[in-house]
Amino acid sequence: MKKNPVIPYLLIMVFGLALVFFFSIKGVGDAKQVAKEKESPKQTQTADSGKFDPESFAKKTCATCHGNNLQGAVGPNLHGVGKKLSKDKIKDVLKNGTSGGMPAGLVEADHIDEMADWVSKLK
């Protein structure tokens, strides 16, 4: 007696359709969550003190391109950048980005001075 070779394909198709349906329903719920997050302002402050912490901000935001220890990865090494660039130039880069890939506006305008000061002191 031969088994029908179509049955495994039908099972895979049913399983795939069920996954598509599940992820569609999940996506609707996630879309509502994303909309709520967009309505509330970004939190760049630490939960404890309510004060901006450049180091924790760098670990969350800058480490993606500059490496876990800001030693350089896709972006350049940030250690010793204070010797190469003035604090005003660092502020300009944080505010306007660069043509080399640094995006503009990662640091809120209220915290650019603190972030530039912290970056300039990295050794």
50: pLDDT confidence band, cut at 50, 70 and 90? Answer: low
How confident is the prediction for the chain on average, in pLDDT?
Answer: 81
Would you say 1 is a known binding-site residue?
Answer: no
Indicate if the pLDDT at residue 41 is higher than 80. Answer: no
Would you say 102 is a known binding-site residue?
Answer: yes
**pLDDT tens digits for range 9-25:** 999 999 999 999 998 88
Would you say 65 is a known binding-site residue?
Answer: yes
Indicate if the pLDDT at residue 39 is higher than 80. Answer: no
Alpha carbon separation from 45 to 36, 57, 64, 111, 115 (Å, rounded): 19, 8, 19, 10, 12
- Predicted pLDDT at 84: 84
Provide the total of helices (H) and of strands (E) in the chain, helices listed first: 6, 0
- Predicted pLDDT at 29: 76
